[in-house]
Amino acid sequence: MTKIGRNDLCPCGSGRKYKKCCFQKSEQGYASNNAPPIKLSEAILQIAEPLMNKYPKREHITVLIDLAVFAWNISLASGEKREEIEDKVIELMPEELDAVDIAAIVEQADMLVERKNKLYPAREYRVLRYFNAA
Ligand SMILES: [Zn+2]
């Protein structure tokens, strides 16, 4: 068996580097990730959990999920991109929430980023909101 270098093009033809593609699905990839596959939807809910307990109102749920998605992506992004994502998430906030609520919730974003890094340190998949998949 020929050994594929981590920085070689992936043999599946995706055009991405092996380490960013099928390596992650390989046994070796699992070992280095040290984690089983996850459903991102469950991961997002898990990350948002402390906030969901704190803000249990129904109209908060969409915001909390957006924020957890935001936290996930922001943990992968660098400076400029972070600001872009931040602006976007504030735009997505529903009108029925007042500014105080939104500010209080957005303040928790750092905690969510920390939670993501702690719970899913090796996960590099970007997450898109279902209605925002542009
Ligand atoms: Zn591949």
CA–CA separation, 114 and 92 (whole Å): 22
Does residue 85 lie within any of the structural domains?
Answer: yes
18 alpha carbon – ligand 1 mean position (Å): 6
91: enclosing H helix or E strand: helix 79-92
Q: Please name the amino acid found at residue 34.
A: N
pLDDT at 131: 47
Residues 79 and 97 grouped into a single domain: yes
Across the chain, mean pLDDT equals: 79
Q: Higher pLDDT residue, 86 or 34?
A: 86
68 alpha carbon – ligand 1 mean position (Å): 28
2 alpha carbon – ligand 1 mean position (Å): 15
Mean pLDDT of 12-29: 80
CA–CA separation, 128 and 73 (whole Å): 9
Mean pLDDT of 88-95: 74
Percent of residues, the chain, with pLDDT higher than 70: 84
Number of domains in the chain: 2
128 alpha carbon – ligand 1 mean position (Å): 21
Residues 18 and 71 grouped into a single domain: no
Does residue 129 lie within any of the structural domains?
Answer: no
Q: Higher pLDDT residue, 36 or 40?
A: 40
CA–CA separation, 134 and 66 (whole Å): 15
Q: What are phi and psi of 114, to 5 degrees?
A: -60, -40
Residues 14 and 73 grouped into a single domain: no
Residues 110 and 44 grouped into a single domain: yes
pLDDT digits (tens, 9 = 90+) for 44-68: 999 999 999 998 888 788 888 888 8
Residues 45 and 64 grouped into a single domain: yes
61 alpha carbon – ligand 1 mean position (Å): 35
Domain containing 16 equals: 1-35
Residues 20 and 45 grouped into a single domain: no
Percent of residues, the chain, with pLDDT higher than 90: 11
pTM of the model: 0.59
117 alpha carbon – ligand 1 mean position (Å): 25
